Amino acid sequence: MTTMGRSAAKRKTGGGSGIRTHDRVAPIHAFQACAFDRSATPPGTFWRGADPSQADTRLQPKRRGLLVFRRRMQHDGGMFLGRLLGWLVLFAASAVAVRDALAWADLRALAPLSLGGLWSNFNASGFIAARHAIEAKVPWLWHWALGPVLAVWALPVLAILGLLLLRWFRRPRQRRFG
């Protein structure tokens, strides 16, 4: 193999030659025992600071759209806040479930709490003020969009939203090679 062929092969693989060393006379004990720089991966293959023409792009994840937002949030402390918000929403869903169970035990009929009812239970004056303000300015928005959304049962909406937040902001899994 020519010198040019060897350098092209090293660029393609990142310079690594596996676990074997190319010694002919006596084995080089230090190089066989462990990796040279405590990293078992060659620098050109996985390292993002390498020349992009030399990196093996099949092993690097593609960053597009919401995945970029998710990774930025994970590195900026957003993963903690997202998981905290997910647990709070799941706690609210369980509180709604307890409320619905107590209402069913008291009334002997299913009386699920809607999102609008949940909002008015927390802040009745804010709910009424928002409704009057929206109906005065844009009445179709309340009657055709917000009204039907706020009439939905709160338990499944909060449970699904909490589970989606926990799934979206989960801890990244460690990839193991070897």
32-62: string of b/e by CB count within 10 Å (b at 16+)?
A: eeeeeeeeeebebbeeeebeeeebeeeeeee
| 75 and 156 assigned to the same domain | yes
**Tally of domains in the chain:** 2
Residue 174 is assigned to a structural domain of this protein: no
Q: Residue 146 is part of which domain span?
A: 67-168
- Asked whether residue 145 is domain-assigned, the answer is yes
**Co-location of 47 and 79 in the same domain:** no
Q: Are residues 16 and 92 in the same domain?
A: no
DSSP state, residue 59: G
Residue 86 is assigned to a structural domain of this protein: yes
Confidence of residue 47 (pLDDT cuts 50, 70, 90): very low
Q: What is the mean pLDDT of residues 88-98?
A: 95
Listed residues 60, 78, 105: the one ending a domain? 60
Same domain for 163 and 140: yes
Residues 18 and 46 in one domain: yes
Beta carbons of 73 and 80 less than 8 angstroms apart: no
Q: Give the CA distances from residue 65 to residues 72, 86, 162, in Å, rounded to whole numbers and listed in that order.
A: 11, 22, 22
Whether 11 and 56 share a structural domain = yes
Position 175 in a domain:
no
Predicted pLDDT of residue 17? 58
> Do 56 and 71 belong together in one domain?
no
Average pLDDT, the chain: 75
pLDDT at residue 45 in the model: 47
Q: Is the pLDDT of residue 65 over 60?
A: no
On whether both 45 and 115 belong to a single domain, the answer is: no
Give the long-range contacts of residues 74-77, CB within 8 A, separation 24 or more.
74/169, 74/172
pLDDT one-digit tens code per residue, 95-108: 999 999 999 999 98
Is residue 109, in this structure, part of any structural domain at all?
yes
Radius of gyration of the chain (CA): 29
DSSP state string for 65-86:
THHHHHHHHHHTTHHHHHHHHH
Instruction: Examine the domain organization and report whether 137 and 160 are in the same domain.
Output: yes
Residues 94 and 137 in one domain: yes
- Classified as helix, coil or strand, 114 is strand
Query: Is the domain of 85 the same as that of 153?
Result: yes
